[in-house]
Chain A
Amino acid sequence: MTTLIDNVFNGLALGAVYALVALGFVIIFKASGVMNFAHGSLLLLGGYLTAVLHDAIGFAAALALSVLVTAAVAGAMDRFLLQAGGGADPHTAAVQTIVTIGVDIVILTDLSRRIGGDLLSLGDPWGDSVSGLGPVTVADSRIAAIAVSTAVIAGVFALFRYTSWGLSLRASAEDVEAAALMGVRLVRVRTLAWCLAGALAALAAVFLAAFPAPGLERTTGQIALKAFPAAILGGMSSPPGALAGSLLIGLTEALVAGYQSELTLLGEGFGSVAPYAVMVLVLLVRPTGLFGAKAAIRV
């Protein structure tokens, strides 16, 4: 029983962090129709900046700065690389998706060179402390992950619902031309969406590198690959879907890892394959994802 609670808690914490990344994927896709393959690199960039800055200016300031810089890099990437040619032309999303692969390689190569084989500490205030939560003992960093993600995600949903940026984003995701006719500033709305997604990725990096993970390494960005099935599971253009998908992936991974010994049939390390297995299973039953009412393709 304790193991179960333990595993579920870990799953929720993982899912909450995946949700930050998956929500970024979805916001970008909704705003531009682009699958951002550079998201993992943006996440790594955010983590790296926090890691190198925290000694000098303290964790909170380092995190704030890294979130801002990562947001700016994501926004600049969209504004000056992706939108430079086509403007808000909706026909070039596929080309722009390929461009993100190129950007990913550039950022990742440089960061890998800088990080090398090191394990960087992000200097987060939770360290390796633990708390008793009922019958189980959990890492403080995971409690923080759940609390912070919940608050931030609630904030993002409020942005969607109550601000004119959110309204502009939802309107242009449904019909670019009609939104343009209403005077929605497509370029700006879209770039802001990329900024927000970049900021979320930088924030997620903190929790992915925090205890019980050993620290930030050059492969940390690949975790974004697990948020990818989460976003697809949810229907790719549905923020609540990304949330549900992330929790599902997080729980699956934690449970499979937790009950590893009883699942030897599936071989060792199945936990890292499980997200994709779940994605395939869900898509077999619901090809458009959990919350994707329509095909997740912008027309």
Chain B
Amino acid sequence: MPEAPPDEEPALIVEGLDVTYGRALSALRSVSLTVPHGTVVALLGANGAGKTTLLRAVSGTLRLHRGAVTAGRVRYGSTELDGRDPVAAVRAGVVQVPEGRRVFAGLTVDENLRTGGLGLGRRRPAQVAEARDRVFALFPRLAERTRQAAGLLSGGEQQMLAIGRALMAAPRLLLLDEPSLGLAPQMVHRIAGVVREINAQGTAVLLVEQNAGMALSLADTAFVLEVGEVRLSGAAGELARTDAVRRLYLGESAEPDHPAATATRDGAAATEGQGAA
């Protein structure tokens, strides 16, 4: 493992992470991954593979689900994040956009955006206005609806609001949990563009997705989780070409027989993956 880089270019480093729910259910087993500064990393896997659990361990919300880190470390730059509360993550510059958008339906769009800055304590109005302008530049549609209750927005608009809300804290690493979930193909395309744009502005992104095609097209590197363990990792383009990933996540038809040439770990991924699904 490399040394923690200086804080100007912090990386998220997860080392040997074990997470257990309710002291019994093991959800992650010695998971290690790195999100270098300014990159997009995709995290793929079937339902129940532990993708969301990993994000919870980073953002400090495991406790809300009666989960705990039982081994390993999570740190961002020089900040230790395992066992800390979500405020620590937000302050360190790591903000998660939860799965299913989870905007505050009864609050207005503007109020939702204001909640995004709550973790940073008192900020100068100019800073808040600047963050808001950035969000509106990215999502002009939100600017037209500031006084509307968030619950009345469409699904795509709610996803934009959820991302915009997180961006209000000016994160250096954005954790995106299934941003394409339940959205129309055109909106998925829009969201992909937004992720690219956010990354171009210098924010690293850890992207959890079931839509592997979209995720791999955006990411620099990717990790595949199977039943709580990292099965595959590598450059996104290379992973997209491996048989296991193509069969399981890109929806291409499965070969009837396992070609002997496939690496053993690919074979393991294929069989265990079916067991987990």
Determine whether A185 belongs to the interface, using a CB cutoff of 8 Å to chain B. yes
Q: Which residues 80-128 in B have Cβ within 8 Å of A in the complex?
A: 85-87, 89-91, 95-98, 102-107, 111, 114-116, 118-120
Chain A's closest residue to B111 (CB) is A167
Determine whether A90 belongs to the interface, using a CB cutoff of 8 Å to chain B. yes
Are A177 and B119 in contact (CB-based, < 8 A)? Answer: no
Interface size on A, as a range, is 20 to 34
Which of B60, B87, B104, B120 has the most A CB atoms < 10 Å from its CB?
A: B104
Are A167 and B64 in contact (CB-based, < 8 A)? Answer: no
Are A183 and B118 in contact (CB-based, < 8 A)? Answer: yes
Determine whether B51 belongs to the interface, using a CB cutoff of 8 Å to chain A. no
The minimal Cβ–Cβ distance linking B87 to chain A, given in whole angstroms, is 5
Are B64 and A182 in contact (CB-based, < 8 A)? Answer: no
A207 to B216 CA separation, bound complex (whole angstroms) = 66
Are A175 and B86 in contact (CB-based, < 8 A)? Answer: no
A167 to B110 CA separation, bound complex (whole angstroms) = 11
Are B61 and A177 in contact (CB-based, < 8 A)? Answer: yes
Residues on the B chain within 8 Å of A181, using CB = 59, 61, 86, 90, 95-98, 166
Determine whether A205 belongs to the interface, using a CB cutoff of 8 Å to chain B. no
Residues on the A chain within 8 Å of B118, using CB = 164, 167-168, 171, 179, 182-184
A174 to B85 CA separation, bound complex (whole angstroms) = 20
Are A182 and B106 in contact (CB-based, < 8 A)? Answer: no
A98 to B153 CA separation, bound complex (whole angstroms) = 39
We find that the number of chain B residues with CB closer than 8 angstroms to chain A is: 32
Residues on the A chain within 8 Å of B86, using CB = 180-183
Residues on the A chain within 8 Å of B90, using CB = 181-183
Chain B's closest residue to A161 (CB) is B111
Residues on the A chain within 8 Å of B165, using CB = 182
A176 to B65 CA separation, bound complex (whole angstroms) = 11
The minimal Cβ–Cβ distance linking A296 to chain B, given in whole angstroms, is 13
A59 to B194 CA separation, bound complex (whole angstroms) = 61
Residues on the B chain within 8 Å of A87, using CB = 63
Contact with B along A209-221 (1 / 0, CB 8 A): 0000000000000
Chain A's closest residue to B122 (CB) is A164
Which of A168, A174, A182 has the most B CB atoms < 10 Å from its CB?
A: A182
Residues on the A chain within 8 Å of B115, using CB = 167-168, 171, 179, 182, 184
A180 to B65 CA separation, bound complex (whole angstroms) = 12
Residues on the B chain within 8 Å of A89, using CB = 63-64, 66
A184 to B97 CA separation, bound complex (whole angstroms) = 14
Q: Which residues 169-226 in A have Cβ within 8 Å of B in the complex?
A: 170-171, 174-185
A267 to B16 CA separation, bound complex (whole angstroms) = 74
Are A183 and B91 in contact (CB-based, < 8 A)? Answer: yes
Q: Which residues 192-233 in B have Cβ within 8 Å of A in the complex?
A: none
A260 to B124 CA separation, bound complex (whole angstroms) = 59
Residues on the A chain within 8 Å of B98, using CB = 177-178, 181
Are B107 and A174 in contact (CB-based, < 8 A)? Answer: yes
Known contacts A167-B111, A170-B106; A185/B64 CB under 8 A: no
Chain B's closest residue to A185 (CB) is B87
Which of A168, A174, A178, A183 has the most B CB atoms < 10 Å from its CB?
A: A183
A243 to B91 CA separation, bound complex (whole angstroms) = 38
Are B104 and A170 in contact (CB-based, < 8 A)? Answer: yes
Contact residue among B64, B66, B106, B119 (Cβ-Cβ distance under 8 Å from A183): B119
Are B111 and A183 in contact (CB-based, < 8 A)? Answer: no
Which of A167, A171, A175, A180 has the most B CB atoms < 10 Å from its CB?
A: A180
Residues on the A chain within 8 Å of B240, using CB = none
The minimal Cβ–Cβ distance linking A107 to chain B, given in whole angstroms, is 31
Determine whether B169 belongs to the interface, using a CB cutoff of 8 Å to chain A. yes
Contact with A along B51-89 (1 / 0, CB 8 A): 000000001110110100000000000000000011101
Residues on the B chain within 8 Å of A178, using CB = 98, 102-104
Other 15 A-B pairs with CB < 8 A, given A89-B63, A174-B107 = A171-B115, A174-B104, A175-B102, A178-B98, A178-B103, A180-B64, A182-B86, A182-B90, A182-B115, A182-B116, A183-B95, A183-B118, A183-B119, A183-B120, A184-B115
24 A-B residue pairings within 8 Å (CB atoms): A89-B66, A90-B64, A167-B114, A171-B104, A174-B104, A174-B105, A174-B106, A174-B107, A176-B64, A177-B102, A178-B98, A178-B102, A178-B103, A179-B104, A181-B61, A181-B98, A181-B166, A182-B95, A182-B119, A183-B86, A183-B87, A183-B89, A183-B120, A183-B169
Q: Which residues of A contact B (CB under 8 A)?
A: 87-90, 164, 167-168, 170-171, 174-185
In the A-B complex, the 3 residue pairs with the closest CB atoms = A183-B119, A183-B90, A178-B102
